[in-house]
């Protein structure tokens, strides 16, 4: 199978890191949704990444759907999220906050590089949403004594948060800074792991 998308996307990166943590072999096609849109469209008409193309040609789209498939593939004992119950809901909530953070951080990049004149109201809204999510995640992570969010074993929420933080810090350093020490520590812990060090790409935003 092969994964489409560049690793400077927090969504592509979290998918690739999960594949590596699960020990699942894959080929990487670092296609851009701007420069390689037609290549992406052959597998995903929305022209978005990540897209995971399975060996039989089936194309899975959106990181959450791809990770759901990978969890099924490796089985419940190895999956990086509980199968059901309160722990799963908590995990999904943290993941949703992280992906929401990443989405707003990406939107803010597009606003900056693709518009000749930025819409002040939209920029302020995105920055307020980012600040709100960071504050909630900081408070919750500071209250967790374990190495990872839900214990001693890394989960999808940990990966999603770390990938969102790296992107936000690179794209908007004035928004993610020393005000969030618990999140900085979490990111440092995750980024020290081999899959995070292997699967990484400096931010290269599209040009207008």
Work out the average pLDDT over 164-172: 96
pLDDT per position as a tens digit, 67-114? 999 999 999 999 999 999 999 999 999 999 999 999 999 999 988 887
Residue 44 has pLDDT above 60, yes or no: yes
Work out the average pLDDT over 172-180: 95
Q: Are 173 and 129 in contact (CB under 8 A)?
A: no
Work out the average pLDDT over 6-11: 97
pLDDT per position as a tens digit, 116-154? 777 888 899 999 999 999 999 999 999 999 999 989 999
Work out the average pLDDT over 23-40: 95
Residue 206 has pLDDT above 90, yes or no: no
Work out the average pLDDT over 188-198: 97
pLDDT of residue 75: 97
Measured CA angle at 148 (ends 23, 156), to 5 deg? 45
Q: What is the mean pLDDT of the chain?
A: 95
Q: CB neighbours of 132 closer than 8 A, spacing ≥ 6? A: none
pLDDT of residue 207: 62
Q: What is the pTM of this model?
A: 0.95
Q: Are 167 and 133 in contact (CB under 8 A)?
A: no
Residue 138 is encoded by which pair of tokens?
Answer: 């900081």
User: Considering the chain, what percentage of its residues have pLDDT values greater than 70?
Assistant: 99
Residue 208 has pLDDT above 60, yes or no: no
Q: CB neighbours of 78 closer than 8 A, spacing ≥ 6? A: 22
pLDDT of residue 139: 98
């Amino acid at each position: 199978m092969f994964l489409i998308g560049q690793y400077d996307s927090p969504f592509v990166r979290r998918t690739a890191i999960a594949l590596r943590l699960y020990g699942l072999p894959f080929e990487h096609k670092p296609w851009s949704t701007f420069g390689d849109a037609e290549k992406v469209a052959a597998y995903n008409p929305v022209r978005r990444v990540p897209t995971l193309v399975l060996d039989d040609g089936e194309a899975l789209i959106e990181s959450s759907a791809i990770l759901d498939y990978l969890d099924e593939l490796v089985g419940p004992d190895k999956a990086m999220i509980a199968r059901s119950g309160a722990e799963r809901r908590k995990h999904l909530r943290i993941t949703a906050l992280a992906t929401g953070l990443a989405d707003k951080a990406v939107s803010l990049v597009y606003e900056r590089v693709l518009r000749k004149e930025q819409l002040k109201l939209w920029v302020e809204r995105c920055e307020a949403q980012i600040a709100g999510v960071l504050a909630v995640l900081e408070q919750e992570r500071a209250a967790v004594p374990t190495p990872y969010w839900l214990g001693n074993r890394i989960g999808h929420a940990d990966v999603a948060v770390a990938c969102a933080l790296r992107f936000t810090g690179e794209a908007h350093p004035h928004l993610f800074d020393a005000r969030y020490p618990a999140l900085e520590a979490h990111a440092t812990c995750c980024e020290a792991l081999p899959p995070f060090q292997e699967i990484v790409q400096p931010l290269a935003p599209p040009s207008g």
